[in-house]
C-alpha cells in the first residue's frame, strides 16, 4: 500500500514502514491487548478449575521373546519367534491388540463390575448430549438408537475402550498399559487388573492348547495302537504260515538246513567207513578187527602145530591125531562162520549207512527248497516287519508326546510378566494446566493483537484530548507582577 511522506511525496511502503505502522497500531492500544490476554488466561484457569479431573495410572509388561518350553512338545510353539532383528515385532504388536480386544476388556468389565459403575454406565444429558443426538440423527437417520437403550455392559465396555491405552516403549519388548478414570485409585486398580487378566488368559490359552493337543494325541494314539497291533499280528501270522518261526532270529528252515547239513556230513563219513570196512573184509585183510576171529586163528595155529607134531610121531589113524585134526577143522569152520558173520554185518552196516546218507540228501534237498521259498517269503516278511516297526515307533512317539502334553498343563510357560505395577497418582493427567494456560495465553495474544489491528484499521489511532488554553492576563497586571 502507498504511504505519504512528510514532504508530501507518495510512494511504495517499505518493510520498515510496515513495521513502524504495526508498532503504532499496537502501541496505542496495549492496555486493551493486555486486558484481553488476561481475560483469556483467567478463562483458562476457570476451565482448569471447573473441569472434571482425570487420573492416569500405568502398568508395564515385559514380553520375553525367548522360548520357554518346559516340556518339548513340538505341537504348540512357545515364545515369539525370531527374525533377522531378533524377536518378531509384529507379534509384539499383536499382543497390544490382544490387550485391547473385546475378550480381555470384557473380562475386566465382568470382574470389576464396571457395568454397575455409574462412572462407566452413566448416560450423558444436557444441551451437548441433545446436540450430539441431533447430529447423529442428521447423519444416520431417525432410526439411530439412543444411548439409554444400549445395555450397561456395552456402555461400560465402550467407556473402558476409550480409557485404556496400550503403547510399546520404543523398539523394546515392554508394553505400557495406561487406564484413565476420575479416581487415581480406580485407575491403578483397573490397570493392574487388566494386566493380571492378560497374563491369566495367556496361561489359560497355553493350558487349553496343551489339553487340546493331549486330547488329539490320545485320540490318534488309540488309532495308532490298533494299527500297530494289526501290523504285528500280520507279521506273526505270516511267519507261522510260511514257516519263518525261529529262535534267536534264525528261521526254522535255515536252522533245519544247517542241522541236516551237519547230519549229512556225519552220515557220509559213516557210510565211507562202512564201505572201507566191507572192502577190507572182502579182501581178507580185516580179520583182526574181530577178537573172536583172532582167538580162533590162534587156536587154529596151535591145533595145526599139535597135529603136525602128532603126525610126525604117530600114524594117521592115531586117535590123538584124529582128534587134533577134527579139532582143527572145527576151529576152521568156526573161523569161517565168524568171518561170514562179520562180512554180513559189514554189508548190513554199509547198506544202512548208504540208505541213511541218501535219505539225508533227500531231506537236505527238500529243506534247501523250503529255504529258497522261505528266503523269497522273507522279503515280504521284512516289509511287514518294517511297517510294524514304523507303526511302533510312531505309537511310542505319540505316547510320549501325549504324556508330555498332559504334564505341561498348568506349568508356568507364559512369556510375559509385570515389571512395574500401577500406583495411584497424585497429579491429574487432564486437564493439563500448563497446556491450557499456554493455549489461553496464545489465543489471548492472537485476539488482543487482532482486535488492536482491527480497531486501528477502522478508526485509526485514538485521538488525544487537547488541554484547554490558559486565560490571558492584562498587560498591566503583568507589569505589576514584574
178 pLDDT band (50/70/90 cuts)? very high
Please list the helix, strand and coil fractions of the chain in percent, rounded to the nearest 5, in that order. 70, 10, 25
pLDDT at 67: 55
pLDDT digits (tens, 9 = 90+) for 290-318: 677 777 778 778 877 777 777 777 767 77
pLDDT digits (tens, 9 = 90+) for 112-129: 988 888 888 877 665 666
Q: Of 268, 264, 266, 272, give the one whose Cα is nearest residue 360.
A: 264
477 pLDDT band (50/70/90 cuts)? very low
Residue 110 reports pLDDT greater than 80: yes
Separation of alpha carbons 217 and 74, rounded Å: 12
Q: Which of 46-55, 277-286, 392-401 has the lowest mean pLDDT?
A: 277-286
Q: Catalogue the long-range contacts made by 111-116 (C-beta closer than 8 Å, 24 or more residues apart).
A: 111/193, 111/197, 112/189, 112/190, 112/193, 114/156, 114/157, 114/159, 114/160, 115/151, 115/152, 115/153, 115/155, 115/156, 116/152
Residue 422 reports pLDDT greater than 80: yes
Residue 480 reports pLDDT greater than 50: no
Average pLDDT across the chain, whole number: 76
Sign of CA dihedral 292, 298, 300, 302: negative
pLDDT at 247: 52
- Which pTM value belongs to this model? 0.53
Percent of the residues in the chain that have a pLDDT greater than 90, as a whole number: 10
Mean pLDDT of 199-213: 78
278 pLDDT band (50/70/90 cuts)? confident
pLDDT digits (tens, 9 = 90+) for 185-205: 999 999 999 999 998 887 777
Residue 83 vs residue 260, higher pLDDT: 260
Residue 276 reports pLDDT greater than 70: yes
Sign of CA dihedral 391, 206, 101, 149: positive
Strand-pair partners of 430: 54
Q: Of 362, 343, 360, 357, give the one whose Cα is nearest residue 271.
A: 357
78 pLDDT band (50/70/90 cuts)? very low
107 pLDDT band (50/70/90 cuts)? very high
Separation of alpha carbons 40 and 448, rounded Å: 10
Separation of alpha carbons 255 and 244, rounded Å: 10
| 49 burial type by CB count under 10 A (0-12 exposed, 13-18 middle, 19+ buried) | exposed
Residue 81 reports pLDDT greater than 60: no
| 28 burial type by CB count under 10 A (0-12 exposed, 13-18 middle, 19+ buried) | middle
pLDDT at 203: 75
pLDDT at 141: 61
Separation of alpha carbons 286 and 280, rounded Å: 5
What are 238's three cell numbers?
505270516
Separation of alpha carbons 440 and 190, rounded Å: 33
**Coil/strand/helix, residue 435:** helix
Strand-pair partners of 175: 61, 168
What are 279's three cell numbers?
572192502
pLDDT digits (tens, 9 = 90+) for 10-62: 445 577 877 877 787 778 888 888 898 899 989 988 888 888 888 899 999 98
Separation of alpha carbons 199 and 99, rounded Å: 10
Separation of alpha carbons 15 and 6, rounded Å: 18
pLDDT at 167: 92
Mean pLDDT of 149-154: 83
pLDDT at 147: 57
Residue 127 vs residue 214, higher pLDDT: 214
Strand-pair partners of 55: 181
Amino acid at each position: 500500500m502507498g504511504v505519504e511522506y512528510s514532504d508530501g511525496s507518495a510512494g511504495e511502503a517499505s518493510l520498515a514502514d510496515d513495521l513502524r505502522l504495526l508498532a503504532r497500531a499496537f502501541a496505542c492500544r496495549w492496555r486493551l491487548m493486555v486486558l484481553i490476554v488476561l481475560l483469556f488466561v483467567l478463562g483458562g484457569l476457570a476451565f482448569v478449575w471447573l473441569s472434571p479431573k482425570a487420573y492416569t495410572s500405568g502398568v508395564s509388561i515385559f514380553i520375553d521373546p525367548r522360548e520357554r518350553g518346559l516340556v518339548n512338545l513340538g505341537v504348540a510353539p512357545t515364545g515369539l519367534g525370531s527374525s533377522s532383528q531378533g524377536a518378531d515385532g509384529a507379534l509384539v504388536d499383536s499382543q497390544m491388540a490382544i490387550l485391547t480386544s473385546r475378550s480381555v476388556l470384557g473380562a475386566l468389565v465382568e470382574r470389576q463390575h464396571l457395568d454397575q459403575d455409574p462412572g462407566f454406565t452413566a448416560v450423558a444429558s444436557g444441551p451437548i448430549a441433545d446436540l450430539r443426538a441431533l447430529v447423529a440423527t442428521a447423519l444416520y437417520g431417525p432410526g439411530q438408537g439412543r444411548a439409554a437403550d444400549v445395555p450397561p455392559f456395552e456402555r461400560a465396555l465402550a467407556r473402558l475402550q476409550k480409557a485404556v491405552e496400550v503403547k510399546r516403549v520404543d523398539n523394546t519388548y515392554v508394553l505400557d498399559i495406561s487406564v484413565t478414570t476420575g479416581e487415581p485409585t480406580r485407575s491403578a486398580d483397573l490397570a493392574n487388573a487388566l494386566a493380571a487378566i492378560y497374563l491369566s488368559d495367556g496361561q489359560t490359552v497355553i493350558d487349553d492348547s496343551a489339553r487340546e493337543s493331549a486330547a488329539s494325541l490320545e485320540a490318534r494314539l488309540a488309532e495308532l495302537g490298533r494299527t500297530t497291533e494289526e501290523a504285528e499280528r500280520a507279521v506273526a501270522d505270516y511267519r507261522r504260515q510260511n514257516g519263518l518261526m525261529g529262535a534267536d532270529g534264525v528261521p526254522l528252515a535255515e536252522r533245519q538246513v544247517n542241522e541236516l547239513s551237519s547230519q549229512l556230513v556225519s552220515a557220509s563219513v559213516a557210510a565211507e567207513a562202512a564201505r572201507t570196512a566191507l572192502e577190507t573184509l572182502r579182501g581178507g585183510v580185516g580179520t583182526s578187527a574181530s577178537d573172536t576171529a583172532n582167538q580162533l586163528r590162534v587156536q587154529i595155529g596151535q591145533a595145526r602145530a599139535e597135529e603136525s607134531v602128532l603126525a610126525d610121531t604117530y600114524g594117521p589113524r592115531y586117535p590123538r591125531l584124529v582128534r587134533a585134526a577134527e579139532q582143527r577143522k572145527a576151529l576152521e569152520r568156526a573161523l569161517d562162520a565168524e568171518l561170514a558173520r562179520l562180512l554180513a554185518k559189514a554189508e548190513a552196516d554199509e547198506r544202512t549207512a548208504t540208505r541213511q546218507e541218501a535219505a539225508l540228501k533227500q531231506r537236505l534237498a527238500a529243506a534247501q527248497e523250503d529255504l529258497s521259498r522261505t528266503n523269497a517269503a522273507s522279503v515280504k516278511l521284512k516289509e511287514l516287519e518294517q511297517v510294524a516297526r514304523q507303526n511302533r515307533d510312531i505309537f511310542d512317539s505319540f505316547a510320549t508326546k501325549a504324556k508330555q502334553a498332559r504334564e505341561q498343563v498348568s506349568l508356568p510357560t507364559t512369556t510375559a510378566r509385570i515389571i512395574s505395577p500401577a500406583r495411584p497418582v497424585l497429579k491429574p493427567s487432564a486437564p493439563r494446566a500448563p497446556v491450557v494456560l499456554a493455549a489461553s495465553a496464545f489465543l489471548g495474544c492472537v485476539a488482543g493483537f487482532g482486535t488492536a489491528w482491527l480497531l486501528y484499521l477502522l478508526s485509526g489511532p485514538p485521538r488525544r484530548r487537547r488541554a484547554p488554553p490558559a486565560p490571558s492576563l492584562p498587560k498591566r497586571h503583568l507589569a505589576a507582577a514584574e
